[in-house]
Chains A and B, each alone.
Chain A
Amino acid sequence: DGGITQSPKYLFRKEGQNVTLSCEQNLNHDAMYWYRQDPGQGLRLIYYSQIVNDFQKGDIAEGYSVSREKKESFPLTVTSAQKNPTAFYLCASTSGAPLHFGNGTRLTVT
């Protein structure tokens, strides 16, 4: 079955460490996105990529980095420069109108 796989589901890190969240899709979608969700808030766009080897900053890109070396993969690195990294992170992809979402990764930094 086609879909978007985010791993791991839960991730724990110590403050000051970089951490990479995985996102893989087998839907053959060109565009991929990373969103952050905090309690009581909607989804906020971190980064997006329309094609391989190209990506753009979203509304809250500071403290994050991405790469798009393969069409099916769009990993997100949360760096130590991100001041409040604890959140729920959602990856999405599309080739048309609706976004398809992964199941998310809950990152906790202590």
Chain B
Amino acid sequence: AQTVTQSQPEMSVQEAETVTLSCTYDTSESDYYLFWYKQPPSRQMILVIRQEAYKQQNATENRFSVNFQKAAKSFSLKISDSQLGDAAMYFCAYRSDFQISSGSARQLTFGSGTQLTVLP
């Protein structure tokens, strides 16, 4: 079974500064997807960014970018020019695809999360 580890339960960053959130995972698969989700106090899960494992280029979405190190099984999230609205719980997730009796299936396994505080 895949496992996802976020070793930083809490992080803080000064507004306008840059912060990096860490994530490692364990898998024997060669093709998979990785995601970062954000959960603000409203508890709505919001997709931040995704990365396909077969792509060598790191994904970027505006101020959010990832450092994907496939061999090291590492998938960190960098938030540049941090804003107060970035304060949230951030979850790293791994998607696995497999076969079941009724066809193909996919699951997302989540890390335990990193609570990010943005200081004004």
Contact = CB atoms under 8 A, between A and B. Distances in A.
Contacts of B104: 50
A42 B105 contact: no
A50 B6 CA distance: 28
Contacts of A41: 112-113
Interface in B21-77: 33, 35, 42-45, 47, 50, 52
A26 interface: no
Interface range on chain B: under 10, 10 to 19, 20 to 34, or 35 or more? 20 to 34
A50 B100 contact: yes
Interface residues of A, number: 25
Interface in A78-104: 88, 90, 92, 94, 97-99, 101, 103-104
Interface of A: 31, 33, 35, 40-45, 48, 50-51, 54, 56, 58, 88, 90, 92, 94, 97-99, 101, 103-104
Interface in B74-120: 91, 95, 100-113
